[in-house]
Amino acid sequence: MSSRFPDGKSLSRRRFLGSAGASLLLLVSRSGQAATSTVLAVRVWPAKDYTRITIESRESLVFTHQMVHNPERLVVDLEGIELNEILQSLPAKITGQDPYIQLIRAGRNRPGIVRLVIDLKSEIVPQIFTLKPVGEYGHRLVLDLYPTEPVDPLLALLEKLSPEEAAAGGAAPPAKADAKPAKKLAEAERKPVEATRREAPAEPAPPQQPAAKDDQGVTRLITIAIDPGHGGEDPGAVGAAGSFEKHVTLSVGRRLKARIDAEPNMRAMLTRDADYFVPLQQRVAKARRVQADLFVSIHADAFISPTARGSSVFVLSDKGASSTAARWLAQKENSADLIGGINLGMKDDHLARTLLDLSQTAAINDSLKVGKAVLGELGGINRLHKGEVEQASFAVLKAPDIPSILIETAFISNPEEEARLNDEAYQDRMADAILRGLKRYFAKNPPLSKSKLARLD
């Protein structure tokens, strides 16, 4: 027999109501927490390849999305949050230069739901996914807006050729004048450490490399794929003064491209030409798409000790890392996809097939040769971290048919080298040294033709 309380409810009934009330209280509490789930940051990365919007939050966001046509819009509902100042700042981050987004509207659709309406300039293919916390990032909701027709790096490269060159399939053009050096810093703004630089010893200019020929014996341009490391969500290493590796690598990469393009029988392609993230495998795929003769990845890494200094050149290893530091660096660089944020739900079987074991080709031997040539030139402008080319399992160097090197221009974690890396004059000298090394390599190892594997689409 159950006991009765003054209100007439039995003890068992009261226990049930108490339990239900506690559950209801817990539900309300959790709902309240979700409704005030904090959005920590919003970021927008516009680029020709795609535009990325990142919403970082304290907890994983629940969302739904739909495409609306005529006019083109992407509608995203964020559940369990309320509109705050950070989300309200998202529309102001869209500029007229964004190739895909016209504007963004953010507003409270109903209690606990914020609606984003993204007005588009053209039809897009969205990829929307979440990322778990990694590094300094919390939970992230990523909205990648891709064009319906992907940007073709080969077509972009051909568009920069003259009509005569394009008609000849990229034949070598007449000799061009030397590239104009990039704008230097004023003397008053130059870093004091500039005086400590070691001048390059006087050496004869490398002989002019023979022009490459295709399978039919037609002269063609030598194509260099330049890969500025990191970008977008992935800043790379950060110096003591707050410098981002991704900015240094892009600046050096652009300078190197300008110099290569000024050569009469060479051309260059950047895997990224702005501040956005490119997955490691896509960097390799871009180089193969333009049938590159060489892949050059540019970095400016950090080490656990601020005293580490000097330039280095790395190539892929089919046996293991040549040193503990090389292994550590490769592991760190290979984690770029986790930081930058790739959509693990998207799989590309063809891309996977292209990442063959480099040990099946002669690419490692060629990589060692070009790495040695470049390292020798880097030693003329900066101290070398090691006097020989090192090897490790870098994912970004795994093109099966392209000699590939990774250049560590200097340690951004070293205050003196960080200052140099931000000096435009030093970046010019770095680009000049890399080009000299490349020309020395091709003078002795002219590429004759592309393999059939490189012709696959």
Residue 188: its pLDDT value, please?
33
Residue 156: its pLDDT value, please?
74
Tell me which of 81 and 33 has the higher pLDDT. 81
Residue 325: its pLDDT value, please?
61
Q: Angle 51-155-170 (CA atoms, 0-180°, nearest 5)?
A: 150
Identify each DSSP E strand in 95-136 by its residue range. Answer: 101-110, 113-120, 124-131
Which residue ranges make up each domain of the chain? 39-147, 153-455
Identity of the amino acid at 302? A
**256: phi then psi, degrees, rounded to nearest 5:** -65, -40
How do residues 334-384 score in pLDDT, each as one tens digit? Answer: 667 677 777 766 555 444 444 444 334 468 889 999 999 999 999 999 999
Rounded to two decimals, what is the model's pTM?
0.76
Residue 150: its pLDDT value, please?
87
User: In this predicted structure, which of 98-102, 317-321, 339-343 has the lowest mean pLDDT?
Assistant: 317-321
Q: Hey, which CATH number is domain 39-147, 3.75.10.10, 2.60.40.3500, 1.20.58.220, 3.40.50.970?
A: 2.60.40.3500
Same fold, 39-147 and 153-455: no
Q: HSE of 325 in the Cβ direction (CA atoms, 13 Å)?
A: 16
Q: Could you identify the residue written with the tokens 């998207």?
A: 346
Tell me which of 424 and 280 has the higher pLDDT. 424
How do residues 6-34 score in pLDDT, each as one tens digit? Answer: 444 444 433 333 444 433 333 333 333 44
Determine which helix (DSSP H) or strand (DSSP E) holds 219, and give its type and residue range.
strand 219-220
Residues 6+ apart with CB under 8 A from 191: 419, 420, 422, 423, 426
Q: Per-residue pLDDT for 175 more than 70?
A: no
Residue 172: its pLDDT value, please?
45
May I ask the CATH architecture of the domain 153-455?
Answer: 3-Layer(aba) Sandwich (3.40)
Residue 82: its pLDDT value, please?
87
Q: Per-residue pLDDT for 320 more than 80?
A: no
CA–CA separation, 396 vs 331, rounded Å? 12
Residue 68 banded pLDDT, cuts 50, 70, 90: very high
What does the pLDDT average to over 32-56? 84
Integer CA distances (angstroms), 449 to 74, 167, 215, 401, in order: 46, 19, 6, 12
Residue 179 banded pLDDT, cuts 50, 70, 90: very low
Q: Per-residue pLDDT for 330 more than 60?
A: yes
How do residues 129-162 score in pLDDT, each as one tens digit? Answer: 999 999 899 999 999 999 999 888 888 777 766 5
Closest CA to 412 of 196, 192, 229, 256: 229
Q: Could you identify the residue written with the tokens 């800043």?
A: 235
User: What percent of the chain has a predicted confidence (pLDDT) above 70?
Assistant: 68
Residue 246: its pLDDT value, please?
97
Residue 372 and residue 314 in contact, taking contact as beta carbons nearer than 8 Å = no
What does the pLDDT average to over 279-298? 93
Q: Angle 226-230-234 (CA atoms, 0-180°, nearest 5)?
A: 165
Residue 211 banded pLDDT, cuts 50, 70, 90: low
